[in-house]
Amino acid sequence: MELASYSDYAVRLVNTEEPARGTDTLTSVEAVRALFGASTQASRRATEADVTRFRSVRGRLRAIFAAADGDEATHAVDLLNSLLLEFPVSPQISGHDFLDDEGHPRWHMHLAEHPSNATAGFAAIAAMGLAFHLTEYGVDRLGLCQAAPCRNAYLDTSTNRSRRYCSDRCATRANVAAYRARKRLETERSDSTGRSAEKAHATVPAADR
């Protein structure tokens, strides 16, 4: 697995909350376990105490995306470094899941699960994955959706650094809203021009018309 792909852990956790909408799906130990995806062994360590701990890490991860989205690259890196120091990873060489045509392991780097608790394990992997993504693609590749009020986190992997939305749905919604805003502005300008013409016409003496 590419180490940068672990950055999806950070996105999944951040997007359990939509502050502008007042929604939060991280309300139970089951929700915590679901964030681990296929890693069932790690998810089994989750307890009710991890709900609060996960929320704390979520806030810190969102702050990283917010700083990056606000062109505060150094601040984003400082915030991420603090997570990396607090939640260190245990890298291991793995290959048992990937075999070549001759049946030999395809060796690759793997981030081992942290043994202490579910939050520490998830935070370590999320922070390291985000670090690899940031250093490989750039701080400006971390963003928050521009389709208000969404503000979900996303990772921009586009070739021209053009991504601004977390999903096609939000992109479509934003484009429709922008189109409607342009049409309203055009209508207002047209109405204003019409009223100005009527006013000018009214000020001309009838004999001169």
Q: What is the pLDDT of residues 55-87, one digit of tens each?
A: 999 999 999 999 999 999 999 999 999 999 999
| pLDDT-above-90 percentage for the chain | 52
Q: Which amino acid is at 41?
A: Q
Which structure tokens are listed for 208? Answer: 């001169």
pLDDT of residue 203: 61
In a 13 Å sphere around the CA of 36, the CA atoms on its Cβ side amount to 24
Residue 38 has pLDDT above 90, yes or no: no
Contacts of residue 148, defined as CB under 8 A and 6 or more positions apart, other chains included, come to 20
Contacts of residue 2, defined as CB under 8 A and 6 or more positions apart, other chains included, come to 132
pLDDT of residue 58: 98
Cα separation, 21 vs 19, whole angstroms: 5
Residue 197 has pLDDT above 60, yes or no: no
- Is 0.85 surpassed by the pTM of this model? no
Q: Exposed, middle or buried, 160 (CB in 10 Å: 0-12/13-18/19+)? A: exposed
84-100 mean pLDDT: 81
Contacts of residue 112, defined as CB under 8 A and 6 or more positions apart, other chains included, come to 89, 90, 91, 92
Quickly state the pLDDT bin for 113 (edges 50, 70, 90).
low
Return mean pLDDT, the chain.
Answer: 85
Cα separation, 62 vs 144, whole angstroms: 9
Which structure tokens are listed for 152? Answer: 């979900």
